[in-house]
Amino acid sequence: MTDSTATDPTPPDPTSIDSTPPASTATGSTASDPAATGPAATDPAATDAATTDPNPPVADPDPVLAEITAAVEAGRGGERVAARERFAALWERITGAGDPFHRCVLAHYAADVQDDPLEELRWDGRALAAADEVTDERVRAHHASLQIAGFYPSLHLNLADVHRRLGHDAEAGRQLELARQRSDALGDDGYGHMIRSAIERCGQRLERGDRSGDS
C-alpha cells in the first residue's frame, strides 16, 4: 500500500517473510507478513511473536510462499516493476484449483507494489475474496498461532484506504466500518494496536477529505 495508514501488506501475515507468521488474534498473538501477515498490515514479517510461545513450530518450507517472499523483497528493494511481474506470473500459476491461502497472501502483497490505485484496488479485492475461502485449519497448518479472522481487519482497512484515495467515500466508509467490526479478532499486542490505530487514522483522513497517499 502506498499509505502508511493502511497496514503494510497486511492481515496477520500468513507468509511472513522470515517465516514468522503474524500472530493470530484470538490467541493473543500478533501477526503480519506475507504469510504470516495475513494478508495484511504490518510487514511481510510478523512484528510480534505469539505470546505463549516465542518460537512456535512452523510447517515445512512452502515453495509458493518462498516465491511470494522473494517478490516482496524485490519490491522493497526498489524493483517494483520486477515485483509486479513476479506476482502476476505466480498468480497465473496458482489460480483456479490453487490454495486460497496462497492467493490471499500473494494478492495482499501484490497490491503493495502497484503504482495505479485501481490496480491496487483490484489486488486488494482479490485478497479479500481469497480470504473467504481460507479455513482456520489451513492457516494453522502454516503456523499454529494463526486464525483467518485476524486477517480481515487489515484486508478491509487496505480496501478502505485505497477507496479513500480514489474518492470513493461511501465505499471507503463501508470498508472502514467492516474493519472496525472485525477488529475484535485482533490481539492486545503490537500488531493489534497498530491496525486499530491505522483504522482510526484512515477514518480521520476520510472525514477531512484527504485523498493523499502520504502518511
Predicted confidence (pLDDT) per residue in 91-114, tens digit? 999 988 789 999 999 999 999 999
SS3 label, residue 130: helix
Q: Give the residue numbers spanning the domain of 35.
A: 13-207
For residue 95, give every residue at least 6 positions away whose Cβ sits within 8 Å of its Cβ, in sequence order, or none.
103
pLDDT band at 157 (very low <50, low <70, confident <90, very high): very high
- In-domain check, residue 23: yes
In angstroms, the CA 87 to CA 113 distance is 9
Q: What percent of the chain has pLDDT over 70?
A: 71
Question: Among 5, 22, 39, 33, which Cα is nearest to 153's?
Answer: 39
Q: Give, to the nearest 10 degrees, the angle between helix 169-181 and helix 190-207.
A: 150
- In-domain check, residue 3: no
Q: Find out whether 15 and 59 touch, Cβ atoms under 8 Å.
A: no
- In-domain check, residue 214: no
Question: Among 79, 69, 81, which Cα is nearest to 43's?
Answer: 69
C-alpha cell, 168: 470513493
CB atoms within 10 A of CB 181: 12
- In-domain check, residue 2: no
Structurally, the chain folds into a number of domains equal to 1
- In-domain check, residue 201: yes
- In-domain check, residue 212: no
Note the pLDDT of residue 214: 65
- In-domain check, residue 215: no
pLDDT band at 69 (very low <50, low <70, confident <90, very high): very high
- In-domain check, residue 39: yes
Q: What CATH number does the domain containing 199 carry?
A: 1.25.40.10
SS3 label, residue 45: strand
Q: What is the pTM of this model?
A: 0.76
What separation in angstroms does the CA of 154 have from each of 44, 48, 124?
A: 13, 16, 10
Note the pLDDT of residue 97: 78
